[in-house]
Structure 1
Amino acid sequence: MSPSAATWRPTRALVTGVGGQDGGYLAERLVAAGVEVHGLQPPGEPAPPWCPSAVVLHAGDLTEHATTDRLVRDLAPDLVVNLAGQSSVARSWAEPEPTWAVNAAAAEALVSSVAALPGSPRFVQASSAEIFGRPDRCPQDESTPLRPVSPYGRAKAHAHLAVGRARAEGLHASSMILYNHESPRRPPSFVTRKISQGVAAIAAGRADRLVLGTLDARRDWGWAPDYVDAMLRAAHADSPADYVVATGRSHSVREFVAAAFARAGIGDWAPLVTVDPSLARPVDPVDSCGDASRARDLLGWAPTVGFPELVHRMVDADLAALS
């Protein structure tokens, strides 16, 4: 864990968004460490197959503040990790109010509930590089001004600032500024999974074309389990802080596509890809790339999976699923 980690160890954790990509990896880590894990899951939404059976699931909507507050008080967890939210930047343009309700207002209410608990609970918020919007520098670090341009980014920035206020008032609250992080558990609505699934389908003869909104957007892509590891390190650290979690290297969608087709054994991929500008975001960051020096220096964190291997793992998983 962190070089500065104290002897603190959680015994009971509440993970919101436990059914998502990060929630599943986090629950696995916590259960393996002997932690009693409770997960908040939207009503009527079944847990995915990767959610450990040991997790106690509670059906609830994070936007119902009174109900969530009651759950927090009843459980009295010593660790709360907020991963819940509307996770699609593109969708936030069409649904700005619901995005604000869960990503901003609900997150702010949750951190307030945790701050009111007795003892010394710890809180970790999943923030996003989208809080920087169109940044004034590259790479970005924790001192980069917040300049969100999307409804998603504005909501995440509000929650990020709420965590900072709670920390100033004494709560061990850390905000993890997560850059894009992927795995085979990524929903198909995200471009990386759309690419890996589409390439696998073409390689298997089940599709003949991959349609994307742009090939030029650049992202700092990392491996999701690595980013969950950073969250745990922040929770265990002696002092809370904001942390950029990123690889420090950006790649274009075009590079991701090329690497995916290459993994599937297809060299001449250009005729198989169509660009439909209507699928692109209304506003896109120029170059999203993070400087994770603070996480490296204070938490001893570093990414373990590079870009080519990340793409390979996603394509391999989708090829295996089709076979």
Structure 2
Amino acid sequence: MKALITGVQGFVGKYLADHLLSYGIEVWGTSREDSPLLCLKNGNVKIIKNDLNSEEGILYLLQSIKPDYIFHLAGQSNVKKSWEDKEGTFYANVNKTIFLLDACVRYQRENPNMRLLTVGSSEEYGRVEANELPIKETTPLRPMSPYGASKAAVSMLIQQYHKAHGLNVVHVRPFNHIGPGQSEGFVTTDFAKQVVELENNDSTPTINVGDLSSERDFTDVKDIVRAYHLIITKGILGQVYNVCSEKPISITDILNYFLSFSNKRFKVNIDASKFRPIEFKKYYGSNEVIKEQLGWIPEYSIEKSLKDIYLFLKNN
């Protein structure tokens, strides 16, 4: 079996590639730059330069590699950046996906058993009322950012391509996913980094944080990629799947976990300048569909996930 992962060198892409390699699947990946082999724990990933800017270029890539599974992870994933570059966000997330979908329609004629998985986001749901929690796949889409709108467009496109062209495609909407190696700008990495950097301070160090009152849905990246593999192999074609823990946890609890991992005592300073407009105090999804159809449930506890992040930063 062969798999192609677009955006393989991103945070989730590396974990997904390593997971597939552990199953003996040959993994290829795309990159916008010339890159050497991506060397991972369970093997190597062959990297091909392809910016996904043309249907013909993507079709040539598919015909050359002949993948059985295609995971589309590439795109613009920063919500803040989507406001600064709306056009670029839609081109990266929608136009390039259309090029890929059209190429896959043609490729499927040669390989009828190929399967494509497109990755969306919980940002597609946007504004959700309290009585709509937990968020289900049937919850109306009301995206509140250009990023969320672009991903919502993709989820509609895959259903259209499945019905109009019989394309073997599924779409996932992951909620917050976390793990070692995630970049800064995400709350778990930012908290852990402060703890690790300050715990050798002789005095009682101060951690500066923003609003801690909101509750969010966090899932370990290793559980996320396990879900992607299960969905692309056994999921119902044309369907959308939430991938989430279904367990909201407060940002206060996230911080307290990190503080408990260290022997150091910390002061916590609530910095009002770090506050961002929060539309929802509580936001979490339902994993009922993937659980009932495919038997997937998260295996990593939030404490285990956060401890792994802390130790990764401490040891590196």
Q: Given the two structures, how large is their TM-score scaled by the length of structure 1? A: 0.87
Q: Secondary structure at the match of 1:204?
A: coil
Partner in structure 1 of residue 215 of structure 2:
218
1: CA distance, partners of 2:300 / 2:310: 15
- 1:166 equivalent in alignment to 2:161: yes
Structure 1's unaligned 5+ residue stretches are 1-10
Residue 258 in structure 1 maps to residue 251 in structure 2: no
Give 1:50 deviation, angstroms. 4.2
Partner of 2:75: 85
Shift of 1:168: 2.1
2:33 maps to: 43
> Which of residues 226, 237, 243 in structure 2 aligns to 1:245?
243
Aligned position for 1:311: 306
Q: In the alignment, which of 254, 266, 269 is matched to residue 267 of structure 2? A: 269
Task: Give the total of aligned pairs.
Answer: 308
Distance in 2, Cα, partners of 1:105 & 1:213: 36
Structure 1 residue 246, shift from structure 2 partner: 0.6
| Distance change (3 Å), C-alpha of 1:74 and 1:179 | same
Task: Please tell me whether residue 190 in structure 1 is matched to residue 186 in structure 2.
Answer: yes
* Inter-partner Cα distance in structure 2 for 1:133 and 1:177: 12
- After TM superposition, the structure 1 stretch with the greater mean CA deviation from structure 2, 133-142 or 165-174, is 165-174
TM-superposed CA distance for 1:79, in Å, is 0.9
The DSSP-based 3-state class of the residue aligned with 1:146 is coil
Structure 2 residues without counterparts, runs of 5 or longer: none
| Alpha-carbon separation, structure 1, partners of 2:175 and 2:49 | 29
SS of aligned partner of 2:247: coil
Report which stretch shifted further, 56-65 or 140-149. Answer: 56-65
Check 1:92–1:159 CA distance in 2 against 1; reply closer, same or farther (3 A cut).
same
CA contact (8 A) 1:63 1:101 kept: no
Indicate the residue corresponding to 2:197 in structure 1: 201
Residues 310 and 122 of structure 1: CA distance in aligned 2, closer, same or farther (over 3 Å) = same
Query: What is the one-letter code of the residue matched to 2:144?
Result: V
Give the deviation of 1:66 after TM superposition: 4.1
- Give the direction of change, closer, same or farther, for the CA distance of 1:108–1:252 in structure 2 (3 Å limit): farther
TM-score (norm 2): 0.89
Q: Is the 8 A contact 1:210 1:274 kept in 2?
A: no
